Amino acid sequence: MTRCPPCKDLAILGEYRAIAEALFPPCGLSAGQEPGIDAAACFAEALGIGAEYQKLLGIKKDTAQMQLFLGRFQNNLDLLIQKTWVEKSDVVRKEKLQDDVPPFMALIMEEQITRAVEEFGAILEELAYLFFGSQSTKEDFTEYTFRIDMQMGLFWWYGTQLVSLKKANKSAALCNEYQWAVLLLGICYLTNF
């Protein structure tokens, strides 16, 4: 078995590198080679959302309890979007992002997890732009967010990995259990941000 070389451009610092590489290996993910749920649980701990993440991981997606949690997610995301200061020209982006959240949540309730992962990647791209402007499109964006706050940097690195999965059309090849575990990380983090 060949071991892939470490990513030279991985902008993750010391203690978080092993946790991040366990969730998203530097050589990428492929069908049948997903890390276990344990990798996602360790990542949740590093993000500071471990207890809630573990609780939610066992809840069925089409239940009232999940609807309640997703309602909290939407409320918090709406607050984050509304509190974001943007140029007048970007107000339409804010409104569109808020409009994208209910269909995303519907995908979860319908258990269309592959599509939900892809949509969440798009939501995170827009949210990063609203928070950080054009800095979010630069190569050193992850390093920039790590300098602001370590956990926030880890979260935005996670977001770039989801976007990479979408752009490479690889999310469909991953099992639903792994996709749900990865998706739930971001939802929990933003619910508690």
Say how many Å lie between the first and final Cα of the chain, rounded. 40
Tracing tokens 């991953």 back to the chain, one arrives at 174
| Rounded CA separation 47/32 (Å) | 26
Look at residue 172 and tell me whether its pLDDT is greater than 70. Answer: no
Whose structure tokens read 């809630």? 52
61 is a domain residue: yes
**C-beta separation of 191 from 75 below 8 A:** no
Closest to 93 measured CA to CA, from 59, 148, 133: 133
- Calculate mean pLDDT across residues 144-168: 86
Q: Which residue has the tokens 């998203």?
A: 24
33 domain residue, yes or no: no
The distance of Cα 53 from the centroid of its chain, to the nearest Å, equals: 13
- 104 compared with 34, residue with greater pLDDT: 104
- The answer to the question of residue 10 being in a domain is no
CA dihedral angle for residue 146, residue 165, residue 31, residue 18, rounded to 10 degrees? -10
Confidence of residue 8 (pLDDT cuts 50, 70, 90): very low
Tokens 């602001």 correspond to what residue? 148
Q: Determine, yes or no, domain membership for 29.
A: no
Q: In the chain, how many domains are there?
A: 1
pLDDT of residue 25: 78
- Which domain, by its residues, includes 177? 38-81+89-191
Task: Note whether residue 32 is domain-resident.
Answer: no
Evaluate whether residue 6 is within a structural domain. no
pTM score, two decimals? Answer: 0.85
Tokens representing 144 are 């920039």
Structural domain includes residue 96: yes
Instruction: Say if 18 falls within a structural domain.
Output: no
Does residue 166 come out as left (phi exceeding 0), alpha (psi in the -120 to 50 range) or beta? alpha
